[in-house]
Amino acid sequence: MIQAIIFDVGGVLLRTEDRAPRQQWEAKLGLPPGGAEALVFNSAMGQQAQRGAITEPELWQWIGAHLDLSVLETAAFRRGFWSGDKLDTGLVALIRQLKTRYQTAIISNYASNLRDELTNQFQIADAFDEIIISCEEKVMKPDPEIFHRALGRLGRQPREAVFIDDFQHNVAAAEAVGLAAIHFQPGLDLAHALQQLGISSG
């Protein structure tokens, strides 16, 4: 029986609903389509930030130097990069309902700013029993170790948990560990998908 529900953040709780600011910066900086995300998330330094080898400010310092930007230009790029992201308040409300009956948690590949954002900017950290962030753990999804750590802190066996992520390879990794998993996509009725697993928020 499912006792714990584990969520990803980027692409699930927090989604880029407006890509125009990133596209505008890509055009301004002469980057190819998707080039901004490639720098922030997929570059060697972006991966180091998510693994906790460098901080989020150090990542942006590197991005600024890499693109030959001033400190002010780098700060403007950073603001623009994140400005299209929106918190799914409906999903947060569902999670708060679920938390009355189940354990809730986060597993996220993210740099050093996430815990502060969840606590202070979005004020939703209290909706989760455990928050597992790759930069703090020094390990990223889809490494099975990050799932085992989350399960250990929740005191659960894999069969007692479900994991929700927008990347299929992370979903597959969770399933390989033994968790149930849901591939989150825009338009998904998550409450219904959870009901299919016997999980009710009511």
Look up the pTM and report it. 0.96
Domains (range + CATH), the chain: 4-15+86-195 (3.40.50.1000), 18-82 (no CATH)
For the stretch 112-169, pLDDT in tens is: 889 999 999 999 999 999 999 999 999 999 999 999 999 999 999 999 999 999 999 9
Q: Which helix (H) or strand (E) holds 134?
A: helix 134-137
* Distance in angstroms (rounded) separating the CA atoms of residues 161 and 1: 8
pLDDT of residue 6 exceeding 90: yes
What is the reported pLDDT for 112? 87
pLDDT of residue 40 exceeding 90: yes
What is the reported pLDDT for 37? 97
Angle subtended at Cα 159 by Cα 154 and Cα 165, rounded to the nearest 5 degrees = 75
For the stretch 42-52, pLDDT in tens is: 999 999 999 99
